[in-house]
Structure 1
């Protein structure tokens, strides 16, 4: 059953799930995902995965929101790009239960603001535990799509699913 809490996403997890045709995992794990306008703009700059992402938006699964340039926004924007900044600020300001981020610096800043974080690998790992996802196949697909995964993280993810 999907988690009904507030989930906010940055660009990378959505784009990479779209690239490997696994956006379906979002629907099985969450009741909805909130996306700041800046993140949506980044997602729609390219063509890859765009139809599937638009379908999620049109089905009201992805909600696109505006994020104001608050003091927190200005502070965080000195460390991160505008998409990550918007996602983290929206999550802090609206008490999000989870933020979807892949970049190390973004995850560090999110944790500094007491946010729960996962990324594309975490979503695949959850999928492997509850949805019979072939994790090795999906990690290989991510790598083929250009997502960098260290050999250590690759091995740790596979061992985690076998626990």
Structure 2
């Protein structure tokens, strides 16, 4: 399975200490250079910058080839490169959270999952405690509808009960 990631899912999984769900779910994840640069940026949290300086074996960086489609111009550079790389590799999945980026990726017929989908899959496979992950996530700058969070908590709390 070929999985390409944008910056946000990696960053937030690191912040909530659940980054290891990625190799458990997908074996390996590929990022373009711009995503690496965003993870290294001075504005990125220290834990993120430290992690990317010595990335795990399951994280692979791969450069894009050719031009970036003009339809991606409204997105930030990391999203542009992640979508371009996913298209070039014919990726099975792209990890994206930004709504505008998700809309455009959908137009390119890419299969998308965001941070909440990753956490949901990990919870279904009993790799994480969903409630704890959401509690940690709510202590970050991640923005999501409280209604959606409540719905997901109800869904996965049922799944977590024996």
TM over 0.5: yes
- The residue aligned with 1:61 is 58
Unaligned stretches of 5+ in structure 1? none
- C-alpha displacement at 1:23, in angstroms? 0.5
The alignment yields a C-alpha RMSD, in angstroms, of 1.6
- C-alpha displacement at 1:41, in angstroms? 0.3
Given candidates 7, 10, 30, the residue that maps to 1:34 is 30
Work out whether residues 76 and 85 of structure 1, in 8 Å CA contact, stay in contact via their aligned partners in 2. Answer: no
Given candidates 90, 102, 107, the residue that maps to 1:107 is 102
- The residue aligned with 1:96 is 91
Alignment of structure 1 residues 1-163 onto 2, 5 Å:
5-45=1-41, 46=44, 47-55=46-54, 57=55, 59-70=56-67, 73-161=68-156, 162=158
Counting matched residue pairs gives 155
Q: 1:54 to 1:126 in 2, by over 3 A?
A: farther
Please report the TM-score for the alignment, with normalisation by the length of structure 1.
Answer: 0.87
Q: Distance in 2 between matches of 1:78 and 1:114?
A: 18
- C-alpha displacement at 1:43, in angstroms? 0.5
Please report the TM-score for the alignment, with normalisation by the length of structure 2.
Answer: 0.88
- C-alpha displacement at 1:66, in angstroms? 1.2
